[in-house]
Amino acid sequence: MNVVEQVESQLKQSIEQAVIKAELAGRDEMPEVILETPKEKSHGDYATNMAMQLARVAKKPPRDIAQDIVDQLDTEAASVKSVEIAGPGFINFFMDTSYLTDVVTTIFDQGDEYGQTNDGQGERVQIEFVSANPTGTLHLGHARGAAYGDALANVMEKAGYDVEREYYINDAGNQIDLLAQSIDVRYAQALGEEKTMPDEGYRGQDIIDLANDLAEEHGRSFLDMNEAGRLEAFREHGLNHLLDQIKHDLETFRVPFDSWFSERSLYTDDKVHAAVESLKEKGYVYESEGAVWFRSTDFGDDKDRVLIKNDGNYTYLTPDIAYHQDKISRGFDRLINIWGADHHGYVTRMKAAIAALGYDDLLDIKITQMVNLFENGEKVKMSKRTGKAVTMKELIEEVGLDATRYFFIMRSNDAHLDFDMDLARSESNDNPVYYVQYAHARICSMLRQAEEKGIATSEQPDLSLLTAEKEIDLLKRLGDYPQVISEAATKQMPHRIPQYVFDLASDLHSFYNAEKVIDQDQLALTQARIALMQATRTVIQDALALIGVHAPEKM
RNA sequence: GUCCCGGUAGCUCAGGGGAUAGAGCAACAGCCUUCUAAGCUGUCGGUCGCAGGUUCGAUUCCUGCUCGGGACACCA
């Protein structure tokens, strides 16, 4: 427990004791003490609505109850400097803020471990994300999923979860046959032959490039093979090539994976068949019209789903169920899938399958909403370069890696995202990425100067000298960090991190303009402020690292 | 028709059962002989989509409607 949590917990206890002393409620009727930090500074450092909550039990007006609580409160034990009753019955606490400086000491002791919480208690979580088909390059939607998934994994790790990141490779099934056929067509065309693309074929520039390379490297040699052999060769070549490209793009985007799971392995290990058998044993499988069905309607789906088509082939759903059964067998306490908005229709049936296998609440599916690019105030539909959809790689080249990461993560995953490329590119105060990075660079600059001027650093600076308004604001913000981590992780809302670090940067800039850190005439104060700057730098760095954004020392 | 997400300041978005609803941008007015002005300070700006319900209290929760986006194969 950190300083802030200790103080809050102590205050809560004191409030409870006061309620009991004032005979307003017994232990069993005690509502949970809710402490909030008022937005308005004049409403104190903390406020509680306890009096309103007790109104019914105590059968008295809230303001009278508030007065009773205040009368009985042990202010000293709770580090409360003064108390006010306000509005309909709020109790506002003004704290003795001297405890706040302990935050700096804590950050020194813990370094980049500051902010760690134990919300996860070591729970094993698997996050499966991106999982784009290896039939093309990664696009905007994938980039959002990648940024969100990576940040979520980082934050959950920080909050004490044992996280594994997995990418599911759809390297079996129809789309791979289509990939082979598409390469076949482009390859023939590259050699000047006529060949028509199947309706569902992949028409992207990436496939054309790939086929051109093949033609250049191998000439007409593939044309001499029989069709089955040629398609098989193209299948393998295309798969390897595109998967390498995806891996490379993700690496560039600073999104690492612990494991890459192949759909094919499900077939070679006979797990698809086994999945159908499992559902059959549980009694959720029946045959009709020559097909084998899963009775997903038992689990809230609006219709039953086919597992094996009347031509004997599996549907897309079946290997997916097998895949999740495999995940289950690996012993995770929780599974999180991150899917694009276009897949939300599969949520119910996937969850139905998991429930049918007997693991009701194991799977959580997060949906990331659509991304729209804007440039010069207009919606960008297609890449100027290729005339096709804009790829993740292009976006990074256009606006930079840090901006791309930051912009994707700063919005809630379930809101549509308007990505303003001009803003992301601009090197100005309009751009939140630069604003935060600048705060970090500013601190580094001050620390450099302190060193150049030969300011002796102190092992134990007198932090009680940090009493200016902007210093208190900064200290409070630093103290909030563990709670931000906790919320971001447990609610799976990594967008809280960019929001927090933006506010922290804002506090830093305000402080910078109000107070001077390096003052040769006031060594003790300078040392205390340098300590505050070092602590702030640590937290900015850490928060940015969670969302995959660099913290530059100079700008 | 069914399902999912959203509707909050001119724009992009946070927030969320409580006190005067926040931030950035835009507009306007100030601040550099002083640690990076990629910064700071202030002003302007809102029936929180509409209507009911629950509650001492709803922008927040519930229901209905409405607008915008997306999804609804024995495709993957």
ipTM: 0.94
How far is A456 from A93, CA to CA, in rounded Å?
38
Range A183-187, long-range pairs (CB < 8 A, 24+ positions):
A183/A207, A183/A210, A183/A211, A183/A214, A183/A234, A183/A237, A183/A238, A184/A230, A184/A231, A184/A234, A185/A211, A186/A210, A186/A211, A186/A212, A187/A211, A187/A214, A187/A215, A187/A222, A187/A234
Inter-residue contact A529 to A522 (CB < 8 Å): no
Q: How far is the CA of A34 from the C1' of B64 (A)?
A: 33
Which residue has the closest alpha carbon to B5 C1'? A414
A459 vs A531: CA distance, rounded Å? 9
Q: Could you tell me the distance in Å between the CA of residue A291 and the C1' of nucleotide B74?
A: 7
| Protein CA at A515 to nucleotide C1' at B36, angstroms | 15
Closest residue (CA) to C1' of nucleotide B22 is A39
Nucleotide closest to A89 measured between CA and C1': B19
Closest CA to the C1' of B3: that residue is: A345
Å from A406 (CA) to B31 (C1')? 30
Q: Which nucleotide is nearest to A307 (CA to C1')?
A: B74
Residue with CA nearest to B35's C1' atom: A446
**Closest residue by Cα to the C1' atom of nucleotide B71?**
A345
CA–CA gap between residue A491 and residue A152 (Å, rounded): 10
Distance A347 CA to B25 C1' (A): 37
Nearest residue: Cα versus C1' of B37: A429
A19 CA, B53 C1': separation in Å?
A: 33
- Please state, in angstroms and rounded to a whole number, the distance separating the CA atoms of residues A34 and A31: 9
Point out the nucleotide closest to A450 (alpha carbon to C1′).
Answer: B35
Tens of pLDDT, residue by residue, chain A (555 residues): 667 778 888 888 898 888 888 888 877 777 778 787 776 677 788 888 888 888 777 777 788 888 889 999 988 888 888 898 887 788 988 888 888 899 999 999 999 999 999 999 999 999 999 999 999 999 999 999 999 999 999 999 999 999 999 999 999 988 999 999 999 999 999 999 999 998 888 888 889 999 999 999 999 999 989 999 999 999 999 999 999 999 999 999 999 999 999 999 999 999 999 999 999 999 999 999 999 999 999 998 989 999 999 999 999 999 999 999 999 999 999 999 999 998 988 999 999 999 999 998 899 999 999 999 988 878 888 777 777 788 999 999 989 999 999 999 999 998 889 898 888 887 766 789 999 999 999 999 999 999 999 888 788 899 999 999 899 999 999 999 999 999 999 999 999 999 999 999 999 999 999 999 999 899 999 999 999 999 999 999 999 999 999 999 998
Is this structure's pTM higher than 0.90?
A: yes
Residue A546 CA distance to nucleotide B58 C1' (Å): 36
How far apart (Å, rounded) are the C-alpha atoms in residues A455 and A447?
Answer: 10
Neighbours of A52 (CB within 10 A): 19
E strands, A122-243, are 124-128, 162-169
Token pair of A130 as six digits: 């991106």
pLDDT at A429: 64
On the CB side of A189, CA atoms within 13 Å amount to 16
Whole-angstrom Cα distance, residue A203 to residue A388?
9
- How many Å does it take to go from CA A44 to C1' B53? 35
Rounded CA separation A87/A283 (Å): 60
Sequence-separated (6 or more) residues with CB below 8 Å from residue A302: A348
The pLDDT value given to residue A156: 97
**Nearest nucleotide (CA of A348 to C1'):** B3
Measured CA to C1', the nucleotide nearest A170 is: B76
What nucleotide is nearest A499 when CA is compared to C1'? B14
What's the CA dihedral at A13, A14, A18, A24 to 10 degrees? -30
- Amino acid at the residue A523: L
Nucleotide B74: closest residue by CA–C1': A309
- Which nucleotides in chain B lie less than 7 Å from some protein C-beta? 2-6, 12-15, 18-26, 34-41, 56, 68-76
CA distances from A8 to A46, A52, A68 (A): 9, 20, 21
Of the candidates A127, A120, A134, the residue with the CA atom closest to the CA atom of residue A151: A127
Type of residue at A555: M
Give exposure, A223-235, as e/b (b: 16+ Cβ within 10 Å).
eeeeeeebbebbb
Q: Separation of CA A182 and C1' B58 in angstroms?
A: 57
Task: Write out the two tokens for A44.
Answer: 């104190």
Residue A414: how many other CB atoms lie within 10 Å: 11
Distance A168 CA to B37 C1' (A): 49
